[in-house]
Structure 1
Amino acid sequence: MNDSERLLGTLGFKNMNGEGAVAETFFPWDLSVDRWVLEGLPDRFASRKLYRAEGERYQDYYNDYMADPVYEYEQYLGYDGVKRMSFRIPFKSFEEKVIEETDDYILSLDTDGWQRRHHKKRKLVEHVRPVVTCEEDWESLKARALEEMRIWCTDENMEKVYGKYREDHEKGKFSVRFRASGFFWTPRELFGAEEHLYAFYDMPELMHDINRFILDIYKEYLGKIARILQPEVILFEEDLSGSTGPMISPALFDEFVGAYYKELIPLLRENGVKNVFIDTDGDFEALIPNFLKAGVDGFLPMDVNAGMDIVKVREKFPRVKFIGAFNKLEIDKGKEAIDREFARILPVIRQGGYLPGADHQVAPSASYENYLYYISRLKEMMKQAGADII
C-alpha cells in the first residue's frame, strides 16, 4: 500500500489492517524546529532552511515553496509522504513603500495593500487603513488582482509548478494536501476583523461581490490545478470561530459562505479532489450541519483548548472526517501525558475517518525527545485505524 492509498483509506472509513496513515496536521512551527535542532534534529531542517520562499513571482500564487523542504523533514521523522502546496488569489501584490517616517514610527503601505504604523521604540504595529473600505476600493483591488493573474497565473506557469509532481503523485509516493483561503477568511483579510463583521449587515452586496469573484476564480483555477494534481485533501482556511463559538450565525453562514461552497465543491469532485476539509480554530460545532449541507467532508485541527471534543463530536456526526484533535499542549508534559491523550482519542481512531495529529502546530515548549515519543506512539496507535469497522 502506497502513501496515497494509506491516507485515502484512513480518511475513507476503511479498516486499515494495521497500516493507518501517519501524518502531521500542519507544517512545523519555526521556533519549534529551531529548538529541536539544538536538541538533535539535523541542522538542515532549521527554519532558515526549511522556510525557503525564494522563487519566481508566479510561485507567490502557485505556491509550492514548502512542498519539498517540509516533505523531507517529515520523511526524516518517519511520517508518510505529504506534499503541501497552495493557490493564492493575488490580492497581496502591492509594492511596499514608506508613506511617512518620524523618530517614533514608520507609516507604510504593505504588500497586502494595508497601511500600517510600525513603531520603532516598541513592538507595536497599528493597522491604520485596510485595503478595502468601500466598493471603490474593492473595484480597484479586483482590477489589480486580475491584471496580476493575467501576467503571472498562466497555464504554462501552472504546469511548471504543479506538473513536476504529477508522475510521482500518480505512483502514490506521496499525498497532496492543498490549501486555499475560504469565503469567510478572505474578506476578513481585506476588511479587517471588526470591519468584516459589520460588513455582513452594512455592505452585503459588496460581500457577495467579493465572494462571487473568489468563487469564479476558484472554479477556473482550482479546476485546472486539480486536473494536473488530484489532491487527497484540499483545505479551505476559514478560522470563523472563537473559544465561545462561531463568529457568524448559521443563517449568515448559509448566505455568505455555504452558498459558495455549494457551487464550488461539486466542480472539485468532478476534477478528482477526494476530500474537502475546513481549517478553522475555535469552537465551530454549531456550524457543522451547515458545512455538511454545503458539501464539506471534514475539519481540522479540532482545537481541544477551545472545547472541541472529537469523541463527542463524532457521536453526533458519525460520518464526519477529522484531522488533528490531539491536544498539542500535552506533548511538552512528557510520556504519560502523551499516552493519556492517545487513549482519549483512540475510540475515534478505531472508528476510521480520522487522521490524528496535533490540534495546531507543536509549540516550542515541547522538547525534541517528547516530540519523537509522540511520533512513535502515533505510529503504534495508527495500527488500530478503522479496527472497529467490519
Structure 2
Amino acid sequence: MNAGERARNLIKGKSIDRLPVVEWAPWWDLTIKRWRQEGLPQNLASVRDIQLWFGLDACVQTYFGVRTKDTPQAPSHGAGIMRTAEDYQKIKKTLFYDPSTYYTKEYIDWLKSTREEGNTIHWFTVEGFFWYPRELFGIEPHLYSFYDEPDLLKEMCSDYVRWLKKVFEYIGNTFKFDFMSFAEDMSYNHGPMLSKETFDEFLIPFYKEVIPFLKKMDIPAFIDSDGDITLAVDWYAGAGADGMFPLERQAGVDVALYIEKQPQMTFLGHFDKMCMKLGEEAMAKEFERIIPSCQKGKVMLSVDHQTPPDVSVENYKIFVKLFKEYAAKVKKN
C-alpha cells in the first residue's frame, strides 16, 4: 500500500496496513538550522527530502493563495490592506488570477512523478472563509466587519467562492490530491472567535457551496484551525467538512472526545510537540495516550504543529522510531 492510498483509505474508513508516519507541517527555520549543526545533511534542500531522510512518509502541501504580486502588502503581521467597499473594489482587481498560471508545468510534472514513486501524500490548501477576509481587513477590523460591514463581507466571500470553483475545476483536470484543507485559524485557546449564530450566517453558506464541489471530485475537505476547536468541530461538521487539524494539545483539546462527537470525521495531528525535547519516555507516553483513539476512530497521528527548535536531531530520530513502532500497531480491515 503506497503512502497516498494509505492516507485516502484512513480518511474514508477503509483498510490500512498501518498509520501514515507523517509530519504535516514543515519545521521551523530555527529547527532546521539546529539540525544542520547536528548532522542533517546540508544538501537536503526541500521539505520532502528531509522527511524522507528521517524515514517519514513524505507529505507535500501545494498552496493556492488568492493574492498576486500586484496585491498591496500589509505593513505588519495582522494589519489589513482595506477598510471600505471602495478599497475592496481597487484590491479586487489584483485578486482572482487564472489558477492555471499559478504553478509551472515543471511543478505539476514533479507532483505526478512523486505520486508515481508512491512514498508521498499530496494535499492542497486554500484560504477559508474566516481567513480570507481577515487577511484583507486585518485581524481587528475583520472581527468588527461582521457588524459594521456585513454586506461587504458577504460580497467578498461570494467573489471568492466563484474563484475557488475555478481553482477546484483546474485541480480536477490537472492532478489528483489525496485531500485538501481550508486555512482558517478561527479558534484560539479558549474556543472560537465567533458565535455559532455569526458562523451560521457568514461562513456556512459559502462552505455549503464549495464543499459539495470537492466531494464530487472525491477530494476530502479538512479545516485547519489552531486553538480549542471543541465547539468548532461540530460547526464545521455541519458545514460538510471531512476532517480537522492540528488539534493542539496545549489548547486542551482531546481527540478521544472528537471521534465520539463526529465519528465520520478524520483528525490529523494531536501529538504534543512540547514533550519531544524530553526524550523517549515522554514521547512513548504521548503515543500511548493517542493510539487508542487511532485504533478506535479515524485519526492520522502527527505532531500537532511545527516541531520546535528545542528538539534535537537525536530526539527527532527517536520520535520517528517510536512513531513507526506505534503506527504498525494500527491496522484496520
User: Shared topology, TM-score over 0.5?
Assistant: yes
* Matched AA of 1:90: R
1:351 aligns with 2:328: no
| The one of 55, 60, 67 aligned to 1:83 | 60
1:228 is matched with 174
| The one of 130, 146, 151 aligned to 1:184 | 130
Deviation >3 Å, runs of 4+: 153-161, 170-173
Distance 1:256 1:367, change over 3 A: same
SS, match of residue 94 in structure 2: helix
Larger Rg: 1
| The one of 250, 253, 271 aligned to 2:199 | 253
* Matched AA of 1:262: K
1:363 aligns with 2:314: no
SS, match of residue 44 in structure 1: coil
| The one of 88, 98, 101 aligned to 1:138 | 88
- d(CA) in 2 for partners of 1:339, 1:157: 41
**Contact 2:28/2:308 (8 A) holds in 1:** yes
Distance 1:317 1:20, change over 3 A: same
CA shift for structure 1 position 154: 4.2
| The one of 180, 195, 201 aligned to 2:141 | 195
What are the equivalent positions in structure 2 for 1:139-178 lying under 5 Å apart? 139-146=89-96, 149=97, 153-154=99-100, 159-166=105-112, 168-169=114-115, 172-178=118-124
2:6 is matched with 6
2:283 is matched with 338
* Matched AA of 1:318: P
* Deviations, residues 142-166 of structure 1 (Å, cap 9, x unaligned): 01225xx25xx44695655424423
* Matched AA of 2:49: E
* Deviations, residues 343-375 of structure 1 (Å, cap 9, x unaligned): 100111212421111110010011111111111
- d(CA) in 2 for partners of 1:184, 1:92: 22
Distance 1:173 1:377, change over 3 A: closer
**Contact 1:279/1:301 (8 A) holds in 2:** yes
Which blocks of at least 5 consecutive residues in structure 2 are unaligned? none
CA shift for structure 1 position 12: 2.8
* Deviations, residues 73-93 of structure 1 (Å, cap 9, x unaligned): 111111113322111112553
- d(CA) in 2 for partners of 1:383, 1:319: 23
- d(CA) in 1 for partners of 2:257, 2:78: 41
Greater mean deviation of Cα atoms: 164-173 or 177-186? 164-173
1:25 is matched with 24
CA shift for structure 1 position 14: 3.4
Distance 1:285 1:34, change over 3 A: same
Which blocks of at least 5 consecutive residues in structure 1 are unaligned? 51-68, 95-110, 117-124
Matched residue count? 333
1:212 aligns with 2:189: no
* Matched AA of 1:135: A
Distance 1:190 1:126, change over 3 A: closer
Q: Please report the TM-score for the alignment, with normalisation by the length of structure 2.
A: 0.93
**Contact 1:304/1:326 (8 A) holds in 2:** yes
- d(CA) in 2 for partners of 1:35, 1:7: 30
SS, match of residue 28 in structure 1: coil
Identity in percent: 32
Q: Please report the TM-score for the alignment, with normalisation by the length of structure 1.
A: 0.80
**Contact 2:263/2:298 (8 A) holds in 1:** no
SS, match of residue 342 in structure 1: helix
1:38 is matched with 37
SS, match of residue 43 in structure 1: coil
**Contact 1:302/1:324 (8 A) holds in 2:** yes
* Matched AA of 1:77: F
**Contact 2:78/2:139 (8 A) holds in 1:** no
SS, match of residue 229 in structure 1: coil
Greater mean deviation of Cα atoms: 254-263 or 240-249? 254-263
